[in-house]
Structure 1
Amino acid sequence: MRIWDRSIATQFICLMLFALLLSQAISFLISRDERGNAVREAYKGEFLSRAEAVARLLETTSPAIEDQITQANNTLNTRYWVTAEPPPADPETWRQAAWARLTEPFTSSESAAFMARAIKKDLQHDKIGASAVIGTGWTNLSPEDWHSPRPAKFIRLDDYYGVGLAVELNRGTWLNTAFAKPAMGGFWSSSALSFAVTALTLSIITILAARAITRPMRRLAVAAEALGRGEATTPLPETGPQDMRYTAQAFNRMQQRLQRFVADRTRMLAAIGHDLRTPITSLRLRTEFVGDAEIREKMLATIDEMQKMTEATLTFAREESAAEETRSIDLSALVQSLSDDLADMGHDVTFNNGFKIKYRCRADALRRAIRNLIENAVRYGQRARVSITKGEDSIDIVIEDDGPGIPPELAEQVFVPFYRLEDSRNRETGGVGLGLSIARSIVRNHGGDIKLVNRPGGLRAIITLPAIDARTRLAAAA
């Protein structure tokens, strides 16, 4: 199943090979006897033609040289001999005599001895011969097969290519001849070779076709991953088959709508924050004329908080509207330098990591998200211990403090913009409540997330980032 799920090309190749094997099997079942019958008929025709020629030669020559003529016409697969008596009525007796002659070399040559051994081995291994054709006896040949005026008796020696013939000569003697060849095994080897060549050719064509089909899909996956991580992506090429063109067009339209939506919301947020400055300034001037000092101080404190929230909103909007370029950095070096900077400022921050991690991200935005969490740990938990762990599919940046932690039911609520825990993150010691929201937004734009988990003696903030992006995953799969 792991091989099957690996790629579309693998599935195409497996299905193609299965279809090819099935078609070859069906074809073999339909025509498995055609080749054997054709070879048998060809051997039979050649055998009868040669036997007829030898019979005519014996009838036109002296009986004294019969043995020389039969010996001269013997071949590796054929034997001739002359008898005074007709062939026995029992065909098995004649078959045994024929096989005895076929399995003996007619000369002392190595090739003749080798052929005799091959016929004998084939006879023993495949159990062919007289026992394989019990029940079949002598038959008379038709005029189409036997052209001599003298009648001949024909017999099968085995289920393959072994045949025999007995024909009466004009002098009253009988010419006997037998022919046999080992069963041909080249058919299976040639069929296997043909299947292998066909399968290899179709596999190569299938791989090329599958790559042509999956290439636009890989581009789409890379673009979707980049879009999900907030990267600026170029529109997909709208080429290829109609289905792929429609898919690329739909993705490009979706990307344009999302970018336009985000840009509109960011501009609206920036405009609201900017427009609030004027009424806040006007309200501050009017507050200065309030006679009651206590009321005036409370109103100014409220106005200051509103101004801080407005400034934070404007800062957030400006950073969101700025399209930072994605680049490869050393993530460990980024966290190390950030921790060292905060430690130089007098904060209790330590970083533990001993390996280099190459990562593709928007470095300034990610640095801000990590800084927000470290500063929160120092502010509310006295110190921050930072570490990085790298897994197979993710990279975790862990920040631990020694603070009071947070109630588990509020672990998600603290990420809501402008939300603050009054008992520890109050207005005097905390910000406006955008730090965690901004940090999570940045991390999620990189395809990751942030979790806050209580631990014995403090809080653990975990930034989880994807270890590899779509480009690397698709390159590894290819």
Structure 2
Amino acid sequence: MTRFWSRSLTVQFVALMLLALAVSQGVGLVVAGLERSALLQNQIKSEFISRAASVAQLLDTTPPGARSDILRASGANYSRFWVTPGAPPAVGDWRRDAFGQLTQPLPSLASLGSPEKFAGAKPDAALVAAATAPTKDDWSELSANAWPLDRPAKFVHLDDAFGMGLAVRLNDGSWLNTVFAKPAAIALWNRASLVTLALTALLLTAIAAFITRGITKPMRRMAEAAESVGRGEAATLPETGPDDIRQTAVAFNQMQARLGRFVDDRTRMLAAIGHDLRTPITSLRLRAEFVADDETREKMLGTIDELRSMTEAGLAFAREEAASEDVRAVDVSALVESLCDDLAELGQDVAFAEGATVRLRCRPDALRRAVRNLVENAVRYGAQARVRVVETPASVDIVVEDDGPGVPTDAMEQVFAPFHRLETSRSRETGGIGLGLSIARTIARRHGGDVSLENLPKGLRATISLPRPRAVEATARAGRVFPGLPRQKPAPSAS
């Protein structure tokens, strides 16, 4: 799950949207619950005060003998009424009396007028919890706006929710007492809110998926185009969509064009230098032929020949850089095997280990030249070459091993520099100018890969690693670089 989270922008975006929805809904429900509780508390208080005032007026206009029936009939499941001869005591003592009243059963309508007959159940203990919970409040007088009668009334909150008590003096000097106790059970969640939340979550998920698709699709195109450019293929992004995406595509296409011009300019300059050096080198050779001293003449001719070889190698390197070979899907195993067979027919000790068919989009001639350079180096300095093609989930590796002296660890990167040679093991007499590994690495990097060296217990292992493109094989057979990108255009040939 962690891996899927880190790899999918859609999952992250949807999860964050749902988290934001859950937090906002939770906060909204809490705020709505608090507002609803306050509103309900005010309504209950107003009704409680109004009913107490009505009962007080009724008792004042009723003969004393009927008071008990009125008090029993006025009681409800959450409230009780009773009369005391004097003013209410302290809140603590009054609460105990209120608890006793709440535990009395309610009379049925048929039993009114018959105090000895009662029906109905006692109120649940949860209903009297508000009247029995400790409180720090004390009696307070209701304001004229809240109390409708012309006589003062004492009021007390028994808890922070729906527990309250009231006492008011009657005309005959006695006091009417009333208590109300109801548990504060306000349901924040119900079926309607759950259905609304589920529908909102589905809608947000769809919107988030649509938005992230619009963001990630251009990003995937750019990643595929960058991978294509890294392999030397042309991949122009469509300059469409919103301004931000369109400007990014324009900048990418301009960057690709500038890089192409930069490389072409350097390649043409190298080719021009190598071409222009041919004439003075030929002139120097002609003049060296007329030197009278034989030893001096041979040294001069040897130096000129070496200079000519280096110039030709430089021209070959420049031609490789300016090559405009098309990219196509080939069987890498068959390509490398045919090269090994050709070298073996020429008398070189080359062995190829057969493996599974591995298809890859590449420049076949350039890749063949890179592998040939490595195999010839292995035969020249290691007596024999063992070649195989290894397929991994991320790349296709062409491995060449020999039994030679290897390469010093501190010179592993230096040997890839143009014209660099290891004098201790690869002198001029053994052949080579020092461009074989440079050309091989250049070709591999134009395919988006690289060439690496590794010393064995006996010999050297050279590996050309070519990355696998993420495009499907059907797209390659259709002749397109990647989905959504135009067909590849061959680069202009260099003169």
Name the TM-score, length of structure 2 as normaliser.
Answer: 0.69
- Is the 2:72–2:107 Cα contact (8 Å) retained in structure 1? no
Identity %: 52
- Is the 1:13–1:207 Cα contact (8 Å) retained in structure 2? no
Partner in structure 2 of residue 158 of structure 1: 159
- Aligned in 2, Cα 1:196/1:141: closer, same or farther, shift over 3 Å? farther
Partner in structure 1 of residue 184 of structure 2: 183
Matches of 1:25 and 1:69 in 2, distance apart? 46
Partner in structure 1 of residue 374 of structure 2: 373
Letter of the structure 1 residue corresponding to residue 234 of structure 2: A
Q: Deviations over 1:49-93 (max 9, x none)?
A: 23333444455566666555545544433x233335345413223
- Aligned in 2, Cα 1:198/1:269: closer, same or farther, shift over 3 Å? same
Partner in structure 2 of residue 95 of structure 1: 95
Match of 1:116 among 124, 145, 155: 124
- Is the 1:154–1:165 Cα contact (8 Å) retained in structure 2? yes
The secondary structure found in structure 2 opposite 1:147 is coil
Partner in structure 2 of residue 41 of structure 1: 42
Letter of the structure 2 residue corresponding to residue 374 of structure 1: V
Matches of 1:2 and 1:338 in 2, distance apart? 42
User: Per-residue deviation at 1:325?
Assistant: 4.1
User: Per-residue deviation at 1:416?
Assistant: 3.2
Matches of 1:28 and 1:467 in 2, distance apart? 54
- Is the 2:267–2:321 Cα contact (8 Å) retained in structure 1? yes
The secondary structure found in structure 2 opposite 1:436 is helix
1:52 matched to 2:60: no
User: Per-residue deviation at 1:267?
Assistant: 3.4
Matches of 2:296 and 2:90 in 1, distance apart? 136
Structure 2 residue runs of 5 or longer lacking an equivalent are 109-119, 473-481, 483-495
- Is the 2:453–2:461 Cα contact (8 Å) retained in structure 1? yes
Partner in structure 2 of residue 451 of structure 1: 452
- Is the 2:278–2:308 Cα contact (8 Å) retained in structure 1? yes
User: Per-residue deviation at 1:179?
Assistant: 1.5
1:138 matched to 2:139: yes
User: Per-residue deviation at 1:163?
Assistant: 0.9
Partner in structure 2 of residue 402 of structure 1: 403
Letter of the structure 2 residue corresponding to residue 349 of structure 1: V
- Is the 1:369–1:439 Cα contact (8 Å) retained in structure 2? yes
Partner in structure 2 of residue 320 of structure 1: 321
Match of 2:239 among 237, 240, 245: 237
Greater mean deviation of Cα atoms: 291-300 or 154-163: 291-300
Letter of the structure 1 residue corresponding to residue 40 of structure 2: V
The secondary structure found in structure 1 opposite 2:124 is helix
- Aligned in 2, Cα 1:27/1:183: closer, same or farther, shift over 3 Å? closer
How many aligned residue pairs are there?
458
- Aligned in 2, Cα 1:172/1:406: closer, same or farther, shift over 3 Å? closer
The secondary structure found in structure 2 opposite 1:132 is coil
User: Per-residue deviation at 1:237?
Assistant: 2.3
Matches of 2:349 and 2:437 in 1, distance apart? 20
Q: Deviations over 1:108-145 (max 9, x none)?
A: 9xxx869725425xx3xxxx5444214x3333222211
- Is the 2:154–2:168 Cα contact (8 Å) retained in structure 1? yes
Matches of 1:84 and 1:315 in 2, distance apart? 119
Q: Deviations over 1:381-404 (max 9, x none)?
A: 122223455667666543210123
- Is the 2:13–2:212 Cα contact (8 Å) retained in structure 1? no
The secondary structure found in structure 2 opposite 1:95 is helix
Matches of 1:422 and 1:137 in 2, distance apart? 104
Residues 237-256 of structure 1: pairs in structure 2 closer than 5 A: 237=239, 240-241=242-243, 248-256=249-257
Instruction: Identify the structure with bigger relative contact order (alpha carbons < 8 Å, sequence gap 6+).
Output: 2
User: Per-residue deviation at 1:182?
Assistant: 1.2
Partner in structure 1 of residue 83 of structure 2: 83
Q: Deviations over 1:221-254 (max 9, x none)?
A: 4444443443322156276446x66655444333
User: Per-residue deviation at 1:266?
Assistant: 2.9
Letter of the structure 1 residue corresponding to residue 91 of structure 2: P
- Is the 1:84–1:172 Cα contact (8 Å) retained in structure 2? no
Greater mean deviation of Cα atoms: 281-290 or 419-428: 281-290
Name the TM-score, length of structure 1 as normaliser.
Answer: 0.71
Letter of the structure 1 residue corresponding to residue 89 of structure 2: A
Matches of 1:114 and 1:360 in 2, distance apart? 87
Matches of 2:347 and 2:75 in 1, distance apart? 111
Structure 1 residue runs of 5 or longer lacking an equivalent are none
Letter of the structure 1 residue corresponding to residue 45 of structure 2: K
Matches of 1:338 and 1:43 in 2, distance apart? 96
- Is the 1:351–1:386 Cα contact (8 Å) retained in structure 2? yes
- Is the 1:406–1:459 Cα contact (8 Å) retained in structure 2? yes
- Aligned in 2, Cα 1:172/1:338: closer, same or farther, shift over 3 Å? farther
- Is the 1:104–1:116 Cα contact (8 Å) retained in structure 2? no
- Is the 2:395–2:466 Cα contact (8 Å) retained in structure 1? yes
Letter of the structure 1 residue corresponding to residue 233 of structure 2: E
User: Per-residue deviation at 1:443?
Assistant: 1.5
- Aligned in 2, Cα 1:365/1:34: closer, same or farther, shift over 3 Å? same
Matches of 2:60 and 2:445 in 1, distance apart? 104
- Is the 2:139–2:154 Cα contact (8 Å) retained in structure 1? yes
Matches of 2:289 and 2:93 in 1, distance apart? 137
- Aligned in 2, Cα 1:40/1:369: closer, same or farther, shift over 3 Å? same
Letter of the structure 1 residue corresponding to residue 235 of structure 2: T
Matches of 1:105 and 1:400 in 2, distance apart? 100
- Is the 1:405–1:459 Cα contact (8 Å) retained in structure 2? yes
Q: Deviations over 1:19-49 (max 9, x none)?
A: 99699889989x9976654433222112112
Greater mean deviation of Cα atoms: 85-94 or 180-189: 180-189
- Aligned in 2, Cα 1:364/1:61: closer, same or farther, shift over 3 Å? farther
Matches of 1:235 and 1:282 in 2, distance apart? 51
Greater mean deviation of Cα atoms: 338-347 or 458-467: 338-347
Task: Compute the RMSD of aligned alpha carbons.
Answer: 5.2
Q: Deviations over 1:348-399 (max 9, x none)?
A: 3334475666655444423321222122212321222234556676665432
